[in-house]
Structure 1
Amino acid sequence: MVFAKADFPWWIAGGYAIELAVGRELRAHGDLDVLVLRRDQALVHELLADWDLHVADPPGQGELRPWRPGEVLRPPLHDIWCRRTSKAPWSVQLMLDEAEGTQWVSRRTPQIRLPIDKLGWTSEAGIPYLAPEVQLFYKAKATRDKDETDFEAVLPLLDAPARAWLADAIKVIAPGHPWIRRLLPVSRT
């Protein structure tokens, strides 16, 4: 993988991050999601200099335009589609996220934070991936069937602090989300 040569933090994201956490394949994937910090975008562009890179502008609207060398992407731009050549299929989706000092800051809302060193886990093969609670936070915004599958698969791996963090984070973006009650301990009165 090209990111193995990176000298900046990066994490496998999306469904593959969940699969790395649970240690088994859950479904087929169309591409590989990778999260990097916005402050490292020039290093990312340099690492992928021989790739065909396009930014979704505006995000979520399906419009892709070339990401030019030296171009600094500012919020709300955060989604970069990558392929080895202009004729190859899209194979990597990069997501830029925010950081302040040693803190990761969610691009969705600055209330949601974690120390960068707690943002991910590392697989037995040395591959960094988003901590399951962080990946589930992203999946909670607009839950699909595959997200429910991921939640069910990884829920048993989440310790009490991870569950509490995720429940608190989801309350900020989706206060009535059904995952919240599944994450919180049952009180006995």
Structure 2
Amino acid sequence: MFAKGDFPWWIAGGYAIELAVGRELRPHGDLDVLVLRRDQVLVHELLANWEVYVADPPGQGELRPWRPGEFLQPPLHDIWCRRTSEAPWSLQLMLDEAEGTQWVSRRTSEIRLPIDQLGHTSAAGIPYLAPKVQLFYKAKATRDKDETDFEAVLPLLDAPARAWLADAIALIAPNHPWLRRLLPVSRT
């Protein structure tokens, strides 16, 4: 469905990690997709036949309809989607920031990457979030599934990716336990 869209998008969450490692790691409740905030109107049009709700306020467990033509401003970034009101939530969209050709983390503008380095493409042609970026987002409040994802993808991260991830995590969680596993490689 997203392949029809004229905007960049990336599979995110646990599926992004699985695309990186090339195998299934665990069950998933929905599919996460990251898009740039500046493309949200195009995304909303693509999902015109879906029920789309925005978490407002973020992280409080409350959803409200995302009205056609409504441009979501920060801090709103989490959108839940389902095909009908009887269907389960099956798609979660995350809006992220960009300035020109740079992706800018919504957590802190100090963390950036060129948009063309934000993701990779699977052998089947599916764009997915770069593991270092996905792990950065998972590091905020790690759960068992995030630990599973970290363990699976860590051996695939080269020294520059580990260094980037360590630096990014250190900005938001300077005592994060993943840093001990990333720092020896990133600081040599």
Normalising by the smaller structure, the TM-score range is over 0.9
Distance (Å, rounded) in 2 between the aligned partners of 1:170 and 1:125: 31
Partner of 2:15: 16
Note the 1:1-189 alignment, pairs <5 A.
2-185=1-184
TM-score normalised by structure 2 residue count: 0.97
**For this pair of structures, how many residues does the alignment match?**
187
Deviations 1:8-60 (A, max 9, x none): 00000000000000000000000000000000000000111111000000001
Give, as a single letter, the amino acid of the residue that structure 2 aligns with 1:137.
F
Q: Find the residue that maps to 1:183 and give its secondary structure.
A: helix
Gap runs ≥5 in structure 2 = none
Deviation of residue 178 (structure 1)? 1.1
Once the two structures are superposed, residues 82-107 of structure 1 have per-residue CA deviations (whole angstroms, 9 ceiling, x without a partner) of 00112111000000000000000000
Shift of 1:184: 2.0
User: 2:14 is aligned with what amino acid?
Assistant: G
> Which AA in structure 2 matches 1:125?
A
Query: What does the per-residue CA deviation read over 1:127-152, in whole Å, with 9 as the maximum and x for residues that have no partner?
Result: 00000000000000101111111101
For 2:170 and 2:183, the matched residues in 1 are separated by: 12
* Partners of 1:53 and 1:37 in 2: CA distance: 17
Name the CA distance, whole Å, in 1 between partners of 2:55 and 2:139.
21
Q: Which residue identity lines up with residue 72 of structure 2 in the other structure?
A: L
Q: Letter of the aligned partner of 1:159 in structure 2?
A: D
**Aligned with 2:133: secondary structure?**
helix
Matched residue SS, 1:24: coil
Task: Give 1:120's aligned amino acid.
Answer: G
State the 1:185 CA deviation: 2.5
Runs of 4+ in 1 over 4 A off after TM superposition: none
Instruction: Give the alignment's Cα RMSD to 1 decimal.
Output: 1.1
